[in-house]
Amino acid sequence: MMGKATYLDHNATAPVRREAADAVCDILRLCGNPSSVHGAGRRAHGWLETARERVAALVGRPPSHVIFTSGGTEANALALKGSGRSRVFVSAIEHPSVLNAVDHAELIPVDADGIVDLDWLDMALEECGREALVSVMAANNETGVLQPMGKVAEVVRRHGALLHSDVVQLAGKAPLDKLSAQTHMMSLSAHKLGGPQGVGAVIADELDVALTPLIKGGGQERGKRAGTENLPGIAGFGVAAELAGSDLEDAERLTVLRDGLENRIAQIASTTVFAAQDRPRLSNTSCFAVPGLKAETLVMALDLAGIMVSAGSACSSGKVKASHVLKSQGWPDDLASGAIRVSLGRTTTEADIEKFMDAWTEVYFRLAPENKPEGAAA
- The catalytic residues are 315
CB 166 within 8 A of CB 76: yes
What is the DSSP pairing of strand 162-166 with strand 132-135? parallel
Whether residue 173 contacts residue 247, with contact meaning beta carbons closer than 8 Å, is answered with yes
**C-beta atoms surrounding 228 within 10 Å:** 13
Alpha carbon dihedral 144, 334, 263, 349, in 10-degree steps, equals 60
- Per-position DSSP letters for 153-205, written without gaps between them: HHHHHHTT-EEEEE-TTTBTTB--HHHHHH-SEEEEEGGGTTS-SS-EEEEE-
Helices (DSSP H) in 290-349: which residue ranges?
295-304, 324-328, 333-336
Q: Which of 240, 251, 265 is nearest to 174 (CA)?
A: 251
- Residues 6+ positions from 49 with CB-CB distance below 8 Å: 63
Collapsing DSSP to helix, strand or coil, 64 comes out as helix
3-state class of 274 per DSSP?
A: strand
